[in-house]
Amino acid sequence: MSTTTGSEPPTDSPAAVPAPTSRVAVAVYCVIAYGLAWLVCLPLWLGDGLSSPLFFPISIAMMLTPTVASLVVVRFVERRPIVRTLGLRPPDAGRTALWLGIALASVLVVVVLGLASSALLGTFRFDIGGMSAFRELLTTQLGATGRTPDDLGMPLRVLWALQLVNVAVASVINTLPALGEEIGWRGYLFPRLRDLLGPVPAVLVSGVIWGLWHAPLILLGYNYPGDPVLGTFAMCVPTIGLGALLAWVSQRGGSVWPAALGHGTFNAAVGSFLVMFGDADFDVDMLGGTVMGWGGWPVWVLVVAAILVVKGLRPYDGRGRSPAAPVVPLRPPPPPDIIA
């Protein structure tokens, strides 16, 4: 018969071991994340939609709903330690810096490849030499103040190159709101689905869940104004592809921070590169052009395939188990004492 002293439970007691991954916990997470997203966006639906002055703060608040859902589930449903379970503590400075750099660079490359793929399929047209789309946007913005690009006293090519700095800065700034999503999607949902279903289904299922979560804004015309209903479902393709890439950098990087930077970089680069590399005389439909449309889908297929081939979704365990890795399953309790 085992005995213990003090107020702490014995080490082999069920109360001392985190609960195993549960389909119920994942379902609760999804219900909370979706429910809060729709609740937060309700003022837009009852008001002026995307033209509402509340759009920006509401969109930021919506990005926090996956974090709220994950905190509730981890704390009250699974009863696990929050920081370790959600991958909030980086393993070490060197590895974190490496994977932050990989996240930033890989997302930028993917966005450019998405434009190239779209150009090959006829849904986008480059004009890097003339910079016509960039020139047109700059002229429009300065025109509102009564100025022209020539009044800036700087060659247009230099102004164009400085946009790369703006993208890098915006990527870092975007990391904080993006973290609101990544704590939920890559810190909680993906590791759980990988434990339950395996890596390939986890990529697909988490990507679809993430994509449809955007419905409260997309159905109002966000991202795909030409066809919001079709756009709601089309969104699932880039979220599957980007989700796989962000899962790769978070799992191998040992925390959600590389995923947050990658997510922030994606948000900064898609619109900026469309203007920097585009032709002003070519109208881009987001359902067709860029990595957001079907013109960029081949790039996402290659991204997911490459990550799966190199088994890039395994959690980092260089110093014990990664913070973003699955928790050891529940051990069976010791057999009961038999009193003769």
**177-192, pLDDT tens digit by residue?**
999 999 999 999 999 9
Domain that includes residue 257, residue range: 91-309
Q: Is residue 45 domain-resident?
A: no
**323 domain residue, yes or no:** no
Q: What are phi and psi of 317, to 5 degrees?
A: -140, 40
Name, of 9-23, 189-203, 324-338, the range with top average pLDDT. 189-203
Kindly state whether residue 10 falls inside one of the protein's structural domains.
Answer: no
Burial of 4 (0-12, 13-18, 19+ CB in 10 A): exposed
- Please indicate, yes or no, if residue 26 is contained in any of the structural domains: no
Give yes or no for a contact between 265 and 103, defined as CB atoms under 8 angstroms apart: yes
Average pLDDT over residues 312-322: 70
First to last CA, the chain: 12
Instruction: Please report which confidence band the pLDDT of residue 323 belongs to, taking 50, 70 and 90 as the band edges.
Output: very low
pLDDT band at residue 316 using 50, 70 and 90 as cut-offs: confident
- The residues facing 126 across adjacent strands are 278
Both tokens of 167, joined, read 């993208």
| Residue 130 near residue 276, CB atoms below 8 Å | no
Q: What angle do CA 179, 270, 119 make, to 5 degrees?
A: 150
Is residue 64 in a domain?
no
Token pair of 203, please? Answer: 């990529």
pLDDT band at 10 (very low <50, low <70, confident <90, very high): very low
pLDDT for the residue 38: 98
For 272, the token pair is 């900026």
Q: Which run of H or E residues covers position 197?
A: helix 190-197
Does some domain include residue 173? yes
pTM of the full predicted structure? 0.87
More confident residue, 324 or 260: 260
pLDDT of residue 318: 65
Number of independent structural domains in the chain:
1
226 occurs within a structural domain = yes
In a domain, 218, yes or no: yes
Of all residues in the chain, the percent with pLDDT exceeding 90 is 82
Residue 326 has pLDDT above 70, yes or no: no
The token duo for 93 is 């400075």
